[in-house]
Structure 1
Amino acid sequence: MALPFKVGKKELFLPNFIITFLRNQTLPANYARFEVPLWFSKLDLRDYLYHAYNVRIFSVTSYVKQQRARFGAPGGEENQTPMMRKWHRPRAKKFMTVQLERPFVWPEEPEDLTAWDKETVEAQRGHQEAERDKMMPTADTLVNEDRRKSMKEQARALLEGREKWEPRGREKNLTSMMARR
């Protein structure tokens, strides 16, 4: 069966690029939006959708979105070392919107996320944020609430006489050396 458009001759076995299909509630069902690499052309997207998914499209619109200039080192979130008074512009992003031959409706988002182990992912994200905060230059201003509470309890117990002061570490060595003299 002849296609209504000329197909590219680039053979594609294992793609070396990432195309992200974006969920967009404002577009009609016969439109789809993708984030593509900057070098990707409209013809590349049309051929990719046809050969990989057998999806025919009527038209493709594309635009490149420039990112805002920011303070800090290039690399954004991956490079957390602050470099004040240094401006950089993150890499631009390219988006393409296609008009589909047949409409596509997104499935409903699942309510039960246990199959994706959401609790573990959220716990890991929280742990990573805590570790990142410890590595920041302002880490010495952060208060460890658990340590503060335990020290408060220890001080209260010492003042009330429930516990007796016992030197530890270096203080213990110094007191034992002084006792020998």
Structure 2
Amino acid sequence: MSLAPVSKKIVAFGSNQVFMPKFTVALIRTPNLSPYQAKFRVPLNFCKYDLRDYLYHAYNVKVHSIRSLVKQLPVRDTIKQPRHWFRPENEKYMTVEMEKPFVWPEDPESWQPWGRKERDASIVQNRAAQGLKSPRDQRVDARKLRLQALELLNKGPEPSVKKWEKRRTPQMLHHELLPSENFSRLLGSKTKPNQGEDMSAMPASSKS
């Protein structure tokens, strides 16, 4: 007497047929995940069963398990409305475990046929026309500002100002270079008078 064959697990699918979907499911490149896992960005009203049915009927991809994550975006403002803070709509991601592995194709050696160099140059030109900086330049400026603040706290204002005078450009001062005596005079006005100086010779405004 032979043993009864092991029956396969029956997976029930939804009965609502969608012929022209109005939603967008985006596959995200995740090199840190396993080839048996894939990450998608889905609409907020999407549930796990919707993604499972979509992958099976559209691409014949069987999914074993699905994990979902709703990411809350940070508060931000726009260029057209500065200081008008708002929180963008949340984003929903789903990570699925597939029956068969999927490996992303390698990047091409040259992006010239796709015009990537021209596109990057256009983005840089548009940012420069609007007075904006790229995220990389912003990080570099923030790092320099942090180092300058530490140098100012450790050495005082005089060495920092003199060092800045040597490498300043007309663009820093709106094409109007100030003589170095102005900086020395400003620094001298902040210093305290010596003990040998006569306080009576000072103006009334400085005595107060």
Q: TM-score range by the shorter chain?
A: 0.5 to 0.7
Give CA deviations for 1:33-59 in whole Å, capped at 9, x if unaligned. Answer: 111111111111001101111100001
Q: Which runs of 5+ in 1 are unaligned?
A: 73-78, 135-142, 149-181
Percent of residue pairs bearing the same amino acid type: 39
1:101 corresponds to 2:62: no
Deviation of 1:23 (Å):
1.2
How many residues are matched? 127
**Match 1:15 to one of 17, 21, 25:** 21
Deviation of 1:3 (Å):
7.9
Deviation of 1:122 (Å):
1.5
Distance in 2 between residues matched to 1:43 and 1:132, nearest whole Å: 45
**Match 1:51 to one of 54, 57, 79:** 57
- Greater relative contact order (CA < 8 Å, ≥ 6 in sequence): 1
Distance in 2 between residues matched to 1:28 and 1:83, nearest whole Å: 42
Q: Which runs of 5+ in 2 are unaligned?
A: 1-7, 133-170, 176-208
Deviation of 1:13 (Å):
2.3
The one-letter amino acid of 2:12's match is: K
1:129 aligns with: 127
Distance in 2 between residues matched to 1:3 and 1:133, nearest whole Å: 60
- Secondary structure (helix, strand or coil) at the match of 2:130 reads helix
- Secondary structure (helix, strand or coil) at the match of 1:25 reads coil
Q: Which of the pair is proportionally richer in strand?
A: 1
2:108 aligns with: 110
Give CA deviations for 1:123-181 in whole Å, capped at 9, x if unaligned. Answer: 221232233328xxxxxxxx6xxxx8xxxxxxxxxxxxxxxxxxxxxxxxxxxxxxxxx
1:68 aligns with: 74
Give CA deviations for 1:76-120 in whole Å, capped at 9, x if unaligned. Answer: xxx422432x43211111000000001111111112112211122
Deviation of 1:65 (Å):
0.7
Q: TM-score, normalised by structure 1?
A: 0.63
Q: TM-score, normalised by structure 2?
A: 0.55
2:44 aligns with: 38
